[in-house]
Amino acid sequence: MTERSEDIFRKHGGQLRMAEAIKFGISRYMLYGLRDRGIIRQVSRGIYRLTELPPISNPDLVTVSLRFPNAVICLISALAYHDITTQIPHFVSVAVQRNSRLPSLDYPPIEPHRFSNDAYSAGVEECIIDEVPVKVYSPEKTLADCFKFRNRIGMDVVLEALRLYSIRRTLNTERLIKYAGVCRVEKVMRPYLESLV
C-alpha cells in the first residue's frame, strides 16, 4: 500500500491536505507511517508533502493557500509577490469575504481582512507556486487595496509600491482606476496616478 499511497501523492502534485488524503483512500495511520519512514513530511498542521520534491520556493504562500483555498493573498504580501515593494512581510495578509470565518494559523502567521463581495472577487489571479494554485490579487488591484488600507500600512509604503509598479511594470492607468472604483478610493488615487503620466 505504501507504493499506492506515494502514487496518490504524485498524482496530486506531491502534497495533500489530510482530508484530501483520506478522501483518496490514505488513512491517518498510513499517513503517519509514511511520515515516520521519511517518505512524506508535514509542512504544516494537516498538510503533507513528498520528501523527494524540491524545497518549496514560497512556503508561506503555499501553506496558507493549501489550508485556506478561498483566501486571496493581498496587501503587502501581494506587493512582495509582485516585486513592487521593499517591505518584507512579517505575516501573510489574506482577504476573505465579509461573511466568512476569519482564518487562523500558528505558522506562518496570517493577517486576515474581510472584504466586501465586490472587493473580494475583483482582480483575483490564480498563480501556480510549486504546483499549488495560489490566489493573489493583480498588481493593480493590490495597489487599490493598499490605498484603501493606507492608514494601516502607511502612505510611504503605498507610494513606494506605486512608484516601483510604474518602473517595473507597464503602467495600466485604466485598470488602476477600475480597481480604485471597486475599492472606493478613486478620488484619493487619481492625483497620484496623474503625477505618473
16-30, 46-60, 85-99, 166-180: the lowest-pLDDT one: 46-60
Beta bridge partners of 42: 48
Tell me which architecture the domain covering 59-196 has in CATH.
2-Layer Sandwich (3.30)
The residue whose grid cell reads 518584507 is 88
* pLDDT of residue 1 exceeding 50: no
- How is residue 89 annotated by DSSP? -
Where is pLDDT greater, at 11 or 147? 147
Q: What is the pLDDT of residues 57-116, one digit of tens each?
A: 677 888 888 888 889 999 999 999 999 998 888 889 999 988 887 777 777 789 999 999
- What's the whole-number mean pLDDT along residues 155-184? 92
Nearest-angstrom CA–CA distance, 135 and 63: 12
CB-based contacts of 119: which residues, under 8 Å, 6+ apart? 95, 145, 148, 182, 183
- What pLDDT is stored for residue 46 in this prediction? 77
Q: What is the pLDDT of residues 146-158, one digit of tens each?
A: 999 999 999 999 9
Nearest-angstrom CA–CA distance, 77 and 81: 6
